[in-house]
Amino acid sequence: MATGNEGVHDVTKPPRIPLVMDVDTGTDDAVCIAAATLCSDAIELVGIGAVCGNVEIGKTARNTLDLVDFLGCDIPVHVGAAQPLARPLCTAVSHGATGLGDVVLPAARRNYAQGGVTELIRRAAERHRGTLEILAVGPLTNIATALSEHPELASMMKRITIMGGALRGGNMTLASEFNLYCDPEAARLVFESGCELTMVGLDVTLKPELPLSVFDRIRAAPGPQADVVGRVLDFMMRRKDEFGADDPNLHDVIALAAIVRPSLFKFETYYVHLETAGEVTRGMTVADFNNISKRPPNARVAVDIDVDGFWNWFVDLFGAAG
Ligand code: BDR
Ligand code: CA
């Protein structure tokens, strides 16, 4: 039945955010991708780039393509860097040998998209000039490469949200977080690019500890997203006892939440220096709390999260699917 409103734009709803994701899938990357495919009211997922990190590029790219295919989503997956900019790759043990723990997905029936991640970002930034956002939840190699080959991209995009860094502490060294430790030269380039940045680091991503009730509700929820996330969470909950790996931290999807539910976070703005050298300080993010550098802020940093609000959002997202 015609309502008379056909073709009328709903002015009460903000426009969807055109988003490119860059991932090193990765258990928590898989959770982040699955969640992102359920956020179509808030984001338009333009494409996904894969980067080496948690495991080698052949595996992060394959995991990403198989996952997107399993979820029944027609999102192009582009293959990116096989090595950090200036160092050998150091992978993470927490995601198991394949990167997806013991979760096995059917092989995708389609292939990777043509062109690398630079091409994906360049084309997306031209098409969505001034509104494109990037969510980078792996080492920043692909993003740094795109920005150094096309510096104009920094002013063409709206914002890059980074899962990485920490104002305090680390998970790779005493002072640095895995993604930025993995490719600190790339991280410095991105932090110095002039692009608007949101840093979602360990200060917030270590706060939500997976409650058993959330696990149970995801396992009971319908649809392929809840199916795969339930299996990933199951692996994450066993991995500490089985091989001494990390607690079930969901770092990457928390950075997604900072885009689609920013009201769950408290942000502070700082100039953040990226340290590239040192046994403990490689990849460390050092915020200029006292304005010593006299440099303008380059990052909006998530410093606190509404943990209950985050879990409610997460459970509702998967519960409402299917
Ligand atoms: C980050 O490192 C990776 O192992 C996770 O996927 C996440 O992106 C957390 O430090
Ligand atoms: Ca990741």
pLDDT digits (tens, 9 = 90+) for 34-70: 999 999 999 999 999 999 999 999 999 999 999 999 9
Structure tokens at 122: 């360049």
As to burial, measured by CB atoms within 10 angstroms (0-12 exposed, 13-18 middle, 19+ buried), residue 23 is: buried
Q: Say how many Å lie between the CA of residue 58 and the centre of ligand 2.
A: 15
User: From residue 163, how far is each of 36, 97, 250, 291 by CA, in Å?
Assistant: 15, 22, 11, 24
Partners of residue 42 on adjacent β-strands:
none
As to burial, measured by CB atoms within 10 angstroms (0-12 exposed, 13-18 middle, 19+ buried), residue 298 is: buried
Using the atom order of ligand 1, give the atom closest to the CA of residue 163. 8
CATH architecture of 17-317: Alpha-Beta Complex (3.90)
**In the structure, what pLDDT confidence band is assigned to residue 245 with cuts at 50, 70 and 90?**
confident
pLDDT value at position 172? 97
Span 200-211, mean pLDDT?
97
In angstroms, the CA 313 to CA 319 distance is 10
Q: Say how many Å lie between the CA of residue 252 and the centre of ligand 1.
A: 7
More confidently predicted of 274 and 10 = 274
**In the structure, what pLDDT confidence band is assigned to residue 12 with cuts at 50, 70 and 90?**
confident
Q: Is 181's C-beta closer than 6 angstroms to any atom of ligand 1?
A: no
State which H helix or E strand residue 155 sits in: helix 153-156
251 is catalytic: yes
In angstroms, the CA 142 to CA 121 distance is 10
Q: Which amino acid is at 195?
A: C
Q: Is 179's C-beta closer than 6 angstroms to any atom of ligand 1?
A: yes
**In the structure, what pLDDT confidence band is assigned to residue 233 with cuts at 50, 70 and 90?**
very high
**In the structure, what pLDDT confidence band is assigned to residue 8 with cuts at 50, 70 and 90?**
low
In angstroms, the CA 232 to CA 101 distance is 7
Helix (H, G, I), strand (E, B) or coil at 319: helix
Instruction: Answer for the pair 20, 147: CB distance below 8 angstroms, yes or no.
Output: no
Position 285 pLDDT exceeds 80: yes
Q: Is 248's C-beta closer than 6 angstroms to any atom of ligand 1?
A: no
pLDDT digits (tens, 9 = 90+) for 151-181: 999 999 999 999 999 999 999 999 999 999 9
Length of the chain: 322
Q: Is 232's C-beta closer than 6 angstroms to any atom of ligand 1?
A: no
Instruction: Answer for the pair 48, 64: CB distance below 8 angstroms, yes or no.
Output: yes
Identify which ligand lies nearest to the alpha carbon of 180. 1
- Scanning the structure block, which residue is given the tokens 């979820």? 71
- Scanning the structure block, which residue is given the tokens 């009328």? 8
Closest CA to 258 of 205, 217, 308: 205
The protein residue whose alpha carbon is closest to atom 10 in ligand 1 is 178
Q: Is 48's C-beta closer than 6 angstroms to any atom of ligand 1?
A: no
> Following DSSP, what letter does each residue of 20-79 receive, concatenated?
EEEE---HHHHHHHHHHTT-TTTEEEEEEEE-SSSS-HHHHHHHHHHHHHHTT----EEE
In angstroms, the CA 10 to CA 210 distance is 36
